[in-house]
A and B are shown apart, each in its own frame.
Chain A
Amino acid sequence: MIEDIRATTSEAERLVDAASTLDELARVDREVLGKGSALTGFKRQMGGLEPDARREVGAALNEARAALEAAVAARRAALAATAQREQAEAERLDLTEVRAGRDAGHLHLVTQAIEELEDVFVGLGFTVAEGPEVEDDWHNFTALNFGEYHPARDMQDTFFVGLGGDREVVMRTHTSPVQIRVMEEQAPPIYSVMPGRVYRNEATDATHLAVFHQLECLVVDRGITFGHLAGTIDRFTKAYFGPGWTSRLRPSYFPFTEPSAEFDLQRPDGTWLELGGCGMVHPNVLANCGIDPEEFSGFAFGFGLDRLAATRHGVTDLRELASTDIRFLEQF
């Protein structure tokens, strides 16, 4: 009987090794180890044996069962590994063929410039103020000390809007009306910057836009001096452009500041960039906003953003900034 067990086991092992799929192995498993298997049959026959023989046969059966179970497990592991390999092979991907259906999106280069500048000024302790693009004469001109027939009005070619009385409503020609709105609404101390879109009725070309962007900085507090103006411009210059940059002020004229100046920045290579205008807030402007010019003083400076933004990317024709062509937009 021991011999029969050995033969049966050996035959069963052959069947296990021959199983080529997991399903087939499961069938073989039932066949050689299940209730109807030859091994189970031998076990049933054990009852009629002598105790010694029974012990021997029992040991042989246990041994055979253990061997077969191990063989099935080994075969199962081998087949599973093969199946996984085949599955993996079947689902092979060439990842170099992947192209994103969408990209990271694009902020307009002017928006990028505005955000960067805002961040620099926030870092310097300023808040950001905003205002409407269509303005009344008071905020755009009169409160800023532009007399009704002052020649300075000609410095800014104005789009007039068909609302209100003659020349009463305009597309704002600068972001300075936001200064007025801030000073009307808020008592000093004021430390604010005002970015925004402005409009000039001027023929456009590669270096001039009728619709462009400015950023102004306004400080009103006790004891503010022209020295603070120059110092703040210099601080901003180094923060935004870099530590190797310096600034200088040259006399100029704006109705809403006095003394007034242009400010130029010097690049580390020694060349100059004429950036914007500035000055001490004119006492009339403070008074127009209900601020006592004897108690408070202030300064303002401002500049155009579009050229800065365009230059950084080598855009030589500013008119491109209004382009809606995706080939332009997706570069930034």
Chain B
Amino acid sequence: MKVLSSWLHEFLDAPVAPEAIAAAFDDLGTPVEEETRLGEGLDGIVVAEVLALAPHPNADKIQLVQVDAGDGEPLQICCGAFNMAVGDRVPLATLGTTMPGGMHIERRKLRGEWSNGMLCSAREIGLGDDHAGILVLDGGPSLGTPIAEVLGIEPDVLWELEVNPNRPDAMSVAGLARDLAAKVGVGFRLPSPPAVVPAGEPVTWASGGAGGRQGATTSAGTPFAAEIAAPDGCGRFLARVLTGVDPSAPSPGWMQRRLIDLGMRPISALVDISNYVMLELGQPNHPYDLAKVGGATLRVRRARAGESMTTLDDVERALTVDDLLITDGDDVPVGIAGVMGGADCEISAATTDVLLEMAWFDPTTISRTSRRLGLRSEASARFEKGVDPAISELAADRFCQLAAEICGGSAEAVQVDVRATLPARPPVLVRTARVNALLGTDLEPARIAEVLAPIGFSTEPQGPDHLVTIPTWRYDSATEIDVVEEVARHHGYRHIPNRELTEPRSGRLTERQLERRAVRRLLCGLGLAECQPLPFLAPGQLAAAGLDPAGIELVNPLVAEESVLRTALLPGLVAAVAHNHARRQLGVGLWEIGHIFLTPPEGQTLPDEREHLGVALAGREAPAAVEVWQVLAELLRLERPAVVNAQLPGLHPTRAAEVLVAGERVGSVGEVDPAVLDRHDVGERVAILEVDLGALHRAARRSPAYRQISRFPSSDIDLAFEVPDGVSAIEVERTLAGADPLVWAVRLFDVYRGEPVAAGSRSLAYAVRLQAVDRTLTDAEVADARARLIEAATGVHGAVLRG
């Protein structure tokens, strides 16, 4: 929402400095996003007359303009616009002027021709966005007159404010002024246009009705009517008639400038007045051409299934039964209520009689329709926050007042005012103790009443507490906590003292979090670099990585290349290696810890989401990744960590294994499938490890118990077995380790394939260290242990001792 200082001051009873206004808006939760000083930098800009136009000898896009700025001396200007004619009066920025945008005007040569100033577009003097040509001034203003005087521009300040959904009142100049006045301690008054009809029953939250139809007749005997056929969607519908409008009358410059400053485009007098009233009072409204409205009747009803209508922007909109329509007396849709009108009944250059709509629509209905249609308008932005249902009459009076002044419209002294369902906003008990308990303050009841009164929250004492009536312009507020926030806001956040937390408590990371950090440190210790690629993949990227192509998809991705949730870290890591490979950065070692997303298990809505660790070692072979796994397993003291050779998707057909802890699968290890690497143009091997960190965390751990170290000499024996390829080396190792209590350590020190070892087997040579804590082993003990080790390997794995 944008707002002007001058406009705000129409509602304030004392002047407030721009700095104080900006500071107050910051403190009120409507912070200033941008401040523009208007009407400054216009001092050197004066009216000049075009004396002659001539082509620039050296440039096509510039012409030479001779102007007279009132001193009778022709002045040559180089100008890039061609829209003016000899005799036109135009704004001239004279030498030495600093423009509103900061540009300094100096005498200079353009392609060899002198330019002694600059002719200005509307935008260059801060009048809207029109930059198509030089601003040609109407009405023959005197030469040399300052442009500010000609255009009636007074210095002003324009603020663009951020307005949150809980501030419907901040969607109007008057509402902002009310809040501001309360903060800075000046008086606030609404405009008071002459009443067109005698005041009716005042509107409160409790003053709703049943809807239905209401008619009236103009002084000329023309009947008109309004009907609410959807009482839950339209809480109030007020209609008036204006006659005798001069359709050719333009809106005045001051009004056009305010509309432009606040971001709207001047169209015609009636449309401008409509927008002006909306900006000023926050009441969106709609003037229809009375002659085009069938039956001179406006009716609010829900759309029918399958119904559609074409909106002003010439788009046909398919509607649902949730949408609200405005139709005429013949049930022809003339607008989507609160969102956008249709073309048929719009006012035009021929409109003389106007049927004016001032309505209150249900915020949820408008929000839903606007979101579904993707159609946002100034009206919908206000209706969906909640317009003040009590403002309609004042807004109608204001419209009629302006129409009478600007285009001679004469308001009929009758109106229809149909009331239907308004939201329930019963008075709220605001407990003083509760206010102080939530804010950490020590406010007296009187102080609470004092800060609430100027923003329209009227209070009635109830013992130490208050019964608070919510003002009609605060649809957002309904409960005690809403009022507490208003108290805090107007008491001032900065006046609430800081407090320290005193409850005894202890902070610490969980085991899982500590383990994750340990894993990170380990991977760093291995010299690897963490990366965080996006978790979104392109369609086909899973398949390209050799994985099951089915991944959960986003309904509304930003781009198709980021539309599939990853089911593994592998695709991202392969892409990362490929990225580096393409830049001749070979042999990179990367890792990532991140979430992956698998299809939800039966009966569950959310994906099976897991935290994975992925490690990619470019230029390395599979054993390098297995080593990472083994060090990781050691770090976490995993029970019986193992790898079992397997064929796995995305991995090398003969260099891949499942990773297990205590027999449970927790991941995979190996090399990336050469076919996958080919598809990614990676010309080096890539060793890869991917494990489920959650599964690792839950996996069985080795006992942390200490094993006593012997003071006696140990005995070493070497055993080489011929073991079939299907038997994992780690299993043999583990069998040996468990075969005799004297075994202290087992280490695989040699693997050999080839003669004389039978094909399909290999020789695995283990060094076994035997040890007793209480004695030196005798030769007989060592021999016994050796026999048991051989027996175990032979018995469990079919291993054959080599001679």
Contacts and interface: CB of A to CB of B under 8 A. Distances in A.
Interface in B507-543: 507-510, 513, 517, 520, 523-536
Interface residues of A, number: 87
Contact of B552 (A163, A226, A250): A163
A186 interface: no
Interface string A148-172: 0111101100011111100011010
Contacts, number: 242
B520 A227 contact: no
Interface stretch (A17-25, A37-45, A59-67, A258-266): A258-266
A104 interface: yes
A99 to B, nearest CB: 13
B437 A161 contact: no
B164 interface: yes
A169 B580 contact: no
Given A105-B529, A151-B165, A127 B508 contact: yes
A191 B528 contact: no
A151 B168 CA distance: 11
A311 interface: no
A115 interface: yes
Nearest to B167: A253
Contact of A107 (B26, B498, B530, B552): B530
Interface string B488-503: 1100011011111101
Nearest to B512: A130
Contacts of A289: none
B554 interface: yes
Nearest to B31: A250
Given A106-B530, A169-B606, A321-B532, A123 B507 contact: yes
Contacts of B499: 225, 227-228, 230-231
Contacts of A226: 438-441, 488, 493, 496
B588 interface: yes
A204 B561 CA distance: 14
B579 A324 contact: yes
Contacts of B330: none
Given A121-B507, A134-B597, A162-B553, A227 B497 contact: yes
B29 A161 contact: no
B371 interface: yes
Interface in B598-616: 600, 605-607, 609
B558 A201 contact: yes
Interface string A302-332: 0000000000000000000111111101100
**Chain B interface residue count: which class?**
35 or more
A253 B395 CA distance: 28
B554 A171 contact: yes
B743 to A, nearest CB: 34
Nearest to A213: B532
A31 interface: no
Contact of A132 (B371, B534, B609): B609
A102 B527 contact: yes
A317 B166 CA distance: 33
Given A105-B525, A149-B368, A151-B384, A225 B534 contact: no
Nearest to A228: B499
A266 B519 CA distance: 36
Contact of B27 (A130, A228, A250, A280): A250
Nearest to A167: B555
A166 B374 CA distance: 17
Contacts of B572: 324
Contacts of B506: 125
A6 to B, nearest CB: 52
B308 interface: no
A322 B510 contact: no
A69 interface: no
Contacts of B494: 248-249
Contact of B29 (A126, A151, A235, A252): A252
Counting chain B CB atoms within 10 Å of each CB, the highest count among A115, A134, A323, A327 belongs to: A134
A180 B517 CA distance: 25
Nearest to A158: B556
Nearest to B577: A324
Contacts of A327: 585
A191 B526 contact: no
B526 to A, nearest CB: 6
Counting chain B CB atoms within 10 Å of each CB, the highest count among A106, A108, A151 belongs to: A151
Nearest to A123: B507
A324 B441 contact: no
Interface string B434-466: 000111110000000000000000000000000
B580 A326 contact: yes
A149 B364 contact: yes
A259 B497 contact: no
A111 interface: yes
A231 B500 contact: yes
Contacts of B440: 225-228
B507 A127 contact: yes
A86 to B, nearest CB: 34
A197 to B, nearest CB: 8
Interface stretch (B44-52, B134-142, B242-250, B478-486): B478-486
Given A258-B482, A324-B580, A106 B524 contact: yes
B605 A163 contact: yes
A245 B105 CA distance: 43
Interface in A91-126: 101-108, 110-111, 115, 118, 121-126
Nearest to B579: A324
A179 interface: no
B111 to A, nearest CB: 36
B28 interface: yes
A259 B505 contact: no
A230 B495 CA distance: 11
B533 A322 contact: yes
Interface in A230-252: 230-232, 234-235, 248-252
Given A104-B524, A251-B29, A161 B565 contact: yes
B669 interface: no
Interface in A200-241: 201-204, 210-211, 219, 221, 223, 225-228, 230-232, 234-235
Contacts of B527: 101-105
Nearest to B611: A130
A314 B557 CA distance: 30
A57 to B, nearest CB: 51
B199 to A, nearest CB: 33
A107 B520 contact: yes
Contact of B529 (A155, A197, A326): A326
B29 A163 contact: no
A252 B488 CA distance: 12
Nearest to A327: B585
B687 interface: no
A173 interface: no
Nearest to B498: A231
Contacts of B166: 253
A130 B694 CA distance: 13
Interface in B6-44: 26-29, 31
Given A151-B367, A329-B531, 5 more contacts: A108-B530, A211-B534, A227-B496, A322-B532, A323-B531
Closest 8 A/B residue pairs (Cβ): A102-B527, A227-B440, A105-B524, A225-B440, A251-B29, A253-B164, A324-B576, A231-B498
26 contacts: A103-B527, A105-B524, A105-B527, A106-B528, A118-B513, A126-B505, A127-B509, A132-B609, A133-B535, A134-B606, A136-B606, A154-B371, A160-B555, A203-B558, A211-B536, A227-B440, A227-B497, A228-B440, A228-B501, A231-B498, A232-B501, A250-B27, A251-B27, A251-B489, A282-B481, A326-B585
Interface of B: 26-29, 31, 164-167, 363-364, 367-368, 371, 384-385, 437-441, 479, 481-482, 484-485, 488-489, 493-494, 496-501, 503, 505-510, 513, 517, 520, 523-536, 552-558, 562, 565, 572, 575-576, 579-580, 583, 585, 588-590, 594-595, 597, 600, 605-607, 609
